[in-house]
Structure 1
């Protein structure tokens, strides 16, 4: 089967100021190497404890978050000399990390993704609640009975910022560019279900995807190699947008002055380490309610907090030390779940982890709430299952007792194990907070009566062990590029998935996954995924550790902003008071 349009937990959603996320090389011969270990400082840098070695027991760690935020960098403050507007009071000032690129094919870091969402418009988008896919440039979407062919009819009023109409050929050009092997695009896997992908991406023999056809300027047909009724949700990704081929080919540096088709356009060329300034596009079908946006780079959320409280910024992330202050002064509408999960996987093919009682005992022995507070300063929330909060189809009771902390029950299960089956090898990468989490978990498991060995590896070696199937109990994270339970359940538990590192295999689950991918009725499809999740958890192939939250704050003058589980917001519906 395909690897199901998923993303390992990597750079695209890391927070401002964090270290680059650890990611497998896309060029690796093993697709399994796309799975990645949770990055240094994970999503929120302030959520990590310091570098001191933690103790051995469950109570040994204390958060290292500081009570005092550092002063902001002077260069990061809004600069009046940057692209002025006729009505400065109608310009949204947003704190971001430094964006790496505005080329849709290279958009991965959080700041670049947020900007791209304003510059470009794809075939589909998520509604304001983040629950349903709705047409964007595609005015109509027709799906074949076998859920393999999708016909998109484009809006007549969709244009690029240079005035050229958006055509089906512009989408085909952009998608082929991403898929081409020589492009080396990390996000090319988003198109791997399109027929002919391997010919273009793996072998490099073909120059275009055979599954993409353009019968006329306003009709785009995409044929898949296997059924996936919810394919339009994958097309919400801000990388899967049209490019004006003629203007692109004529440009010396398209990434500096990109020509998009979204509700905002570049007001000045893009430069690294400089503010990114966008202006509203007159006559755009989204009808933006503000005159422009200034995206202002800051090194971290602590540095942007003071300018925000001094009314120099309209939107910022909240440092973990200021969450309660933000809640009291600005409300909690910006406190949103992210489609990001963390888990410990069990290698079900290893002798050490073959007993379901042991795997269940490990789950019950871990105090996830304390783990989330002590090490991640509240940016992680305890799990309710495999599918994270914020995802359509999320169920708050699917995990049940398995996700509850019950040390006495864990000890009772361990006592039922033969003495020679009470060992566990816990593997992790040597960076923080992986080491801290591993030592804390070791304390919990020792309290349950298990003999725990820690094995730390360099990142590359860790991935090799996963690829070779040599791991025992291991920790990974998973980030969804779009809101569909299939991104988690199919990628991690389909018998043929290259990212199924647990070795979980179930003909029943495989059959239900295939049925869910064919199902066009949304409610029926989500019920299938909930049933699949129940079956998987009953086999206990993993320890759900938690999912993550993003903390945004918006000034009281900002109206109509909707922060979503994908880590950002769309600016077109926003209006500014005063």
Structure 2
């Protein structure tokens, strides 16, 4: 049966617990979920699953099953609620002091008690290690952490931050044991120890992790109620191989990422006992620039690229109905969205681009290489970059080429500044406009960019975080977005939708992937809905 789900009726939500109760894993079989995310531990990234380093959707989806956080975003979204904590909240009107009380009887998977000192240790460890992956930036607003007794922790912030509860719900704030994680260096390999809903074992193939087996943690105490006893996450080289495994019943579900071709075929010509489900998504794709690289150092070059790119043609030609053009870093469904790139450059205006370059005295054609990752964002990435190249070359203003590399090579090279122009995607850490701005423009950011705008960094971002009512921060985000469109340190391209495909005896599929692309494996059960 083919089923698309955007919004479930109230009755379906009320029935979900009943269906889950009927849909356990009574036969003892693990639920098997496929992914095209690649997990590699090598010289460039020896500790991919250490919360002080991990900062991509794939690795965070491993950590969410195994490492507990004080808060988590509940099913269906909304503000974070207590998870390892019994209660949390700001204890002052200025939103500079945040206090949490731990649940009673909380332990790590090995039975060791979890205390406020463990929370303090874990946060301070991230800030001390300060890896080059940009992870620590999420906690950069923490001034000091105070453990009060065994079950109370207080975070003293450098400045007001209404988004701090969201940050505590991310794996970077995962609670770790000092016996398993050293204070001043990363923990290499794929081992993970925590107090989350599952324990984990990994099967390796050389540098890669081929599969992760999650078994329900009998010592877990928290807000999550797993609907299965065991789940296996299996990594596939590409969406095609993952799709064949679903058809042959080797896996029960394929999540990240289906190809556009698979989505179209499964939607238009449903396969027996396989259903495809559309779930809300907040992914964006963009070009990033090393603003010190000679080829794009001139702002006019980046502005001209913004004027040449035809997002509509790009989306229609490569992604079809699974994506839509984006003219801002903040996607359309998030508070504060605007269209500054359309306002400034229109859509594919070659004459405007030529004038920008001429007025700046830039000789044409400008030679640029568009770098992309071949194995991280789905099957269409190479096609997308070929289309971008053709658009730039057709303008007569650019001499463009493309170059692809595996993520394990691409990401370290991008952080080093080896690429003048590169393509990346962003899945939000939390659904707030702050998380589409700070990771690209704040200090110690994800991109490791040389671009600095002090007005944005020192004034506008802090001002936006003072607003407990996030809609009240919209004027500040509008100002930031105009600056981004003027300076073009990044060039937004499109925002995407999310799809999962599963065998029809799997329940909880609608909840297993949220808007931030968090994989919530505990929602899955086996049965008949």
TM-score (norm 2): 0.70
Given candidates 275, 278, 285, the residue that maps to 1:341 is 285
Given candidates 497, 500, 507, the residue that maps to 1:559 is 507
After TM superposition, the structure 1 = structure 2 runs for residues 318-357 of structure 1, keeping only pairs within 5 Å, are 318-328=258-268, 329=270, 333-334=277-278, 336-343=280-287
Given candidates 311, 318, 337, the residue that maps to 1:395 is 337
Does structure 2 conserve the Cα–Cα contact (< 8 Å) formed by 1:560 and 1:575?
Answer: yes
Does structure 1 conserve the Cα–Cα contact (< 8 Å) formed by 2:147 and 2:154?
Answer: yes
Does structure 2 conserve the Cα–Cα contact (< 8 Å) formed by 1:509 and 1:532?
Answer: no
2:518 corresponds in structure 1 to: 568
After TM superposition, the structure 1 = structure 2 runs for residues 252-331 of structure 1, keeping only pairs within 5 Å, are 258-266=192-200, 269-273=201-205, 275-282=211-218, 284-285=221-222, 286-317=224-255, 318-328=258-268, 329=270
After TM superposition, the structure 1 = structure 2 runs for residues 23-422 of structure 1, keeping only pairs within 5 Å, are 87-88=26-27, 91-96=30-35, 97=37, 99-100=39-40, 103-105=50-52, 107=54, 110-138=57-85, 139-181=87-129, 187-195=135-143, 211-246=144-179, 258-266=192-200, 269-273=201-205, 275-282=211-218, 284-285=221-222, 286-317=224-255, 318-328=258-268, 329=270, 333-334=277-278, 336-343=280-287, 362-374=305-317, 381-388=324-331, 392-393=334-335, 395=337, 397=339, 399-402=341-344, 405-407=347-349, 410-411=350-351, 414=354
Please give the root-mean-square deviation of Cα atoms over the aligned residues, in Å: 4.5
- The change in CA–CA distance for 1:91 and 1:539 in structure 2 (over 3 A counts) is same
Cα deviation 1:286-319 (Å, max 9, x = unaligned): 2222222122343332212123123332211324
- The change in CA–CA distance for 1:341 and 1:415 in structure 2 (over 3 A counts) is closer
Query: Offset of 1:89 from its aligned partner?
Result: 6.2
Cα deviation 1:328-371 (Å, max 9, x = unaligned): 53565345535443135595999999787x87664343222332
1:528 corresponds in structure 2 to: 476
Per the alignment, in what secondary structure is the counterpart of residue 32 of structure 2? strand
Does structure 1 conserve the Cα–Cα contact (< 8 Å) formed by 2:89 and 2:99?
Answer: yes
Alignment gaps of 5+ in structure 1? 1-84, 196-210
- Partners in 1 of 2:216 and 2:296 — Cα distance? 59
- The change in CA–CA distance for 1:129 and 1:526 in structure 2 (over 3 A counts) is farther
- The change in CA–CA distance for 1:516 and 1:542 in structure 2 (over 3 A counts) is same
Per the alignment, in what secondary structure is the counterpart of residue 202 of structure 2? coil
Query: Offset of 1:517 from its aligned partner?
Result: 1.8
Per the alignment, in what secondary structure is the counterpart of residue 437 of structure 2? helix
- Partners in 2 of 1:254 and 1:418 — Cα distance? 51
Alignment gaps of 5+ in structure 2? 1-23, 41-47, 375-380
Per the alignment, in what secondary structure is the counterpart of residue 333 of structure 1? strand
Cα deviation 1:232-253 (Å, max 9, x = unaligned): 222222242112345779xxx9
Q: Does 1:451 align with 2:390?
A: no
- Partners in 2 of 1:152 and 1:135 — Cα distance? 9
- Partners in 2 of 1:162 and 1:394 — Cα distance? 44
Query: Offset of 1:257 from its aligned partner?
Result: 6.6
Query: Offset of 1:406 from its aligned partner?
Result: 4.7
Cα deviation 1:517-556 (Å, max 9, x = unaligned): 2222233235532453246436766542224454422333
Query: Offset of 1:168 from its aligned partner?
Result: 1.0
Q: Does 1:515 align with 2:457?
A: no
- Partners in 1 of 2:30 and 2:326 — Cα distance? 39
TM-score (norm 1): 0.65
Cα deviation 1:400-437 (Å, max 9, x = unaligned): 45575354xx4267469858557363533566779976
Query: Offset of 1:177 from its aligned partner?
Result: 3.5
Query: Offset of 1:215 from its aligned partner?
Result: 1.1
Per the alignment, in what secondary structure is the counterpart of residue 328 of structure 2? coil
